[in-house]
Structure 1
Amino acid sequence: MARAATELIRRTQSELMFHHALRAFLFAALTGYRENLEFDAELLYVGAMFHNVGLDARYKRSPYRFEVDGANAARDFMRQHGIGEREIEEVWVGIALHTTPGIPEHLLALVALISAGVQMDVRGARYDDFTAQQRDEIAHAYPRESGFKKKLIEAYARGMEHRPETTFGTVNADVLDRWDPNYRRLNFCGLVLGSEWPN
């Protein structure tokens, strides 16, 4: 299954996103080993491989958050490989919540680790929990290409610019706020105060 996931993601994602997924997996696995967590490495790998699939152009008209599209794609993929529904649900939740700070670390190990690996590679979360050697070896094997930070933000923005309403209440609103000068984020307080309720 891991080989099939690798081939699929290598074929459908840019090298930037493919290498990001591989680094996210490695940082996630190292976190799990360091914290003595029990997890299935192959399921973690699939979660890391699929976590950004929802940004692909084929989902640009989707009504869902990109995380949900990625989680749904991973679910379909795992069903084709005979994975049980409980395991599929763990991966699904891990992908769906990987951009939701403060929640995944309180859930199952697999969910927490998918988020931890992604957050380490994207924003350096818990950067100093890894040795310089670990960081350097991972970045050497799967390079962070020049301008990775800006290119990643652009990839996220391009995956969401056609469905800006899906970013409400997420860190993804920050991406579109920086990317699109015409983007106007929804405001929770405005929605409450502007609702049809009389008081």
Structure 2
Amino acid sequence: MVNVSGISIPDSNLARDITQFIRDTEDELLFFHSTRVFFWGALTGARQKLRYNSELLYVAAMFHDIGLTAQYHDSQRRFEVDGADAARSFLRSYAIPESDVERVWNAIALHTTPGIPEHMHAEISLVQVGAGMDVAGRGYDGFTDDQRQAIVAAYPRGDDFKNGIINAFYEGMRRRPQTTFGTFNDDILAFKDPRFQRADLCSIILHSPWDH
């Protein structure tokens, strides 16, 4: 089992079952990405001396992008909500306390929403931290070379993760472009599809049915 600076994947039946489920559901790019998100988040939590539940953090990290997979491509909801609901259903089958289920749901649903998770439970904040580190390099210098190398050696980024993850986002959202309004997810559609038209809140306000 990989251990990085005292951090390892939780050794429980739930964690093992989730690992197998996500491995069977996601391709290698998303599976390795999700696992790295857990490690970046957990290492940050340890460095900042936060109190968090490692198992709940692992659940949220592993499910956070499942809404991008093929079975959800025709969904008309935000992919984050699809992932949060999938995790909730999985956890309820294990009789996990509802308060913990809600915490995982929020961590997944809010992981692309800036400015809010850091004011909530540590598990919610740390999923966003981990995703931001792995996708955009946010907080990169907060990790040592040894930590980065160990995690990437165990869960590789592949030859072109940057374009790979953009493509995964695009495939997961291109059939539901309206769900990207109000998030930075519309950046993905604009980058990949020159025909994509962003919604504009000012135009929506000015063309609302109100007289003034």
TM-score (norm 2): 0.92
Q: Return the match for 2:163 from 136, 150, 173.
A: 150
- Looking at structure 1, the residues matched to 73 and 40 of structure 2 have their Cα atoms a distance apart, in angstroms, of 29
Task: Tell me what 1:75 maps to.
Answer: 88
- Gapped runs of 5+ residues in structure 1? none
- Gapped runs of 5+ residues in structure 2? 1-13
Greater shift after overlay, 52-61 or 149-158? 52-61
Task: Tell me what 1:197 maps to.
Answer: 210
**1:63 to partner: Cα distance:** 2.0
Corresponding letter in the other structure for 2:67 = G
- Looking at structure 1, the residues matched to 165 and 76 of structure 2 have their Cα atoms a distance apart, in angstroms, of 22
Show the 5 A alignment for 1:1-199.
1-199=14-212
Q: How many percent identity over aligned positions?
A: 51
- Looking at structure 1, the residues matched to 126 and 160 of structure 2 have their Cα atoms a distance apart, in angstroms, of 26
Task: Tell me what 2:6 maps to.
Answer: none
- Looking at structure 2, the residues matched to 81 and 36 of structure 1 have their Cα atoms a distance apart, in angstroms, of 29
Greater shift after overlay, 57-66 or 19-28? 57-66
Corresponding letter in the other structure for 2:152 = A
Describe the SS at the equivalent of 1:192. Answer: helix
Runs of 4+ more than 2 Å apart: none
- Looking at structure 1, the residues matched to 78 and 92 of structure 2 have their Cα atoms a distance apart, in angstroms, of 22
- Looking at structure 2, the residues matched to 5 and 169 of structure 1 have their Cα atoms a distance apart, in angstroms, of 31
Corresponding letter in the other structure for 2:148 = R
Corresponding letter in the other structure for 1:190 = S
Describe the SS at the equivalent of 1:98. Answer: coil
Corresponding letter in the other structure for 1:115 = Q
- Looking at structure 2, the residues matched to 58 and 19 of structure 1 have their Cα atoms a distance apart, in angstroms, of 19
Corresponding letter in the other structure for 2:192 = W
Q: Over residues 4-45 of structure 1, what are the superposed CA-to-partner deviations in whole Å (9 max), with x where a residue is unaligned?
A: 110011011010100000100000000111111111111100
- Looking at structure 2, the residues matched to 175 and 64 of structure 1 have their Cα atoms a distance apart, in angstroms, of 17
Q: Over residues 103-142 of structure 1, what are the superposed CA-to-partner deviations in whole Å (9 max), with x where a residue is unaligned?
A: 1111111100111111110101111111111111111110
